[in-house]
Amino acid sequence: MTDNELCKLLKDSPEAGQRAFYDKYFNYVYTIVFSRLKDSASREDIDECVGDVFAHCFFYFDKQSEISGSLKAFAATVARRKSIDTYRSVTRHSSRNMSIDDAGEISSEENITEAAENTELRRIIYDKLGELGEPDSTIVIQKYYYGRSSREIAHIVELSAENVRVRCSRAVKKLRALLAESGITR
C-alpha cells in the first residue's frame, strides 16, 4: 500500500487505516525506539513507548482534515520524540555535567575517521549476515541485537526453541568464519 493510499484509508476508514499504518511502519518505529532506548529502558518500557508512538500518530491523523506528506518521516519524528520522553522518565540522571571533552568527542577528527572505517566494516557485516540466509540471519539479529531468548525467537521464525538454539550456534560459527575471510577477526 502506498502512502497516498494509506492517507486516503486513514480518512475514509480510520480504524482500518490505523491498523494498516501500524503494520506498515511497526518495524521501522520499533527499530528507532529500540536503538535509542536499548541501553536504558526495559523491554516493557520500549513496548509502551512504541505503543505510545502509534497512539499519538493515530490521534494526530484524527485531527487532520487531510493527511499528506511522508508518513514515514512523520512516524520517525514521533518515534524519536517519544523515545526521548521515555528515556527521561526511566532514568534518574541527566547529561548536564558532561565534560566538554565528552561533548567534543562526537566531532573529533579521530572519530570522524573512525566513523568512515566503521561504515566500511558495517557494510561487510551486513553482507555477511545476508549470506547466512533465512532464518539464520534473523535468528542472529534477534539474539544479539534485540537480546531475545531462543523461545521468543522461536515464535518469530516459527521453529522450535531447540532448533533455534542449534541454528543460532551454527550460524554464529559460519558468520565468524565469513567475517574472518574478510579480514574481520576481532
Partner 1 sequence: MQQSGEEAQGSACGVGNNALKEDIDMKDKLDMIFSRDEKDIEHISEKYPAAGKKEKKKIYEISRRRYDELRAEDAGDDGYIKEAEGVERYNRPVWYRGMCAAAAAVILMGGVGGGIMLSRSSRIQHMNASSDINAAATTSATITNAADSDRNAVVDRLMSNAEMITKPQYPETDSIDRNDEIYFNMDEFSFTAGRVVNLTKYYYAVADERLDTMEELTAVLNETFIYETRSRYIGGDLSNHEVGYDFRDDSLANRYVRNFITYNGKVYALSCCEGDMNYVDSFDNRYNFSSYKLISSEFQEGDDMYSSYMFSDEDGQPIPSSDIIICKRVYERPDGAKVTSRIKITQEKGEWKIASFGSNTEDDETFAISDGLTVSSEEPADNGGEFAELQLHEQNICSDRDEALALYAKIAQTADEGGYTFKKVDTGKYAQQIIEASSFDELNTLENKSFVYHMFMNSYRYFDTADVSYTYDVESNESPYYSKNRCIADNKGKYFYLDYEYEKGSDHEMTTFYMYNNKWINADNMKKVYSECEADEVDYEHRYIPDNDLFIRYYDENGNILYMDSLSTVVMGGKCSDCLYHDTDVLYDFEKWHIEDVENILGRECVSVTMQDRAYSEHMCIDLYTGIVMSLTRTFADTNETHTMKVASIKTGQPIDYIYFNADGYVNETNNS
Where in 120-159 is the site for partner 1 (CB under 8 A)?
121-122, 125-126, 129-130, 137-138, 140-152, 155-156
Binding residues among 45-84 for partner 1 as defined by CB under 8 A: 47-48, 50-56, 58-60, 62-63, 73, 76-77, 81-82, 84
To the nearest whole angstrom, how small is the minimum distance from the Cβ of residue 126 to partner 1? 6
How far apart CA 149 and CA 142 sit, in angstroms, is: 8
Cβ nearer to partner 1, comparing 11 with 125: 125
76: which residues sit within 8 A by CB, 6+ positions away?
Answer: 28, 29, 32
How far apart CA 45 and CA 86 sit, in angstroms, is: 7
- CA 70, 21, 82: angle at the middle one, nearest 5? 75
From candidates 20, 40, 159, 163, binder to partner 1 by CB under 8 A: 40
155: which residues sit within 8 A by CB, 6+ positions away?
Answer: none
How far apart CA 43 and CA 49 sit, in angstroms, is: 10
How far apart CA 77 and CA 68 sit, in angstroms, is: 15
Cβ nearer to partner 1, comparing 5 with 147: 147
Give me 102's grid cell: 565528552
Cβ nearer to partner 1, comparing 8 with 47: 47
Cβ nearer to partner 1, comparing 2 with 100: 100
Q: Does 164 bind partner 1 (CB under 8 A)?
A: no
Q: Does 8 bind partner 1 (CB under 8 A)?
A: no
To the nearest whole angstrom, how small is the minimum distance from the Cβ of residue 13 to partner 1? 16
How far apart CA 152 and CA 123 sit, in angstroms, is: 28
To the nearest whole angstrom, how small is the minimum distance from the Cβ of residue 176 to partner 1? 7
Q: Does 170 bind partner 1 (CB under 8 A)?
A: no
Cβ nearer to partner 1, comparing 137 with 163: 137
From candidates 2, 109, 110, 183, binder to partner 1 by CB under 8 A: 109
From candidates 176, 177, 181, 182, binder to partner 1 by CB under 8 A: 176
DSSP line for 79-107: HHHHHHHHHHHH-S--STT--HHHHHHTT
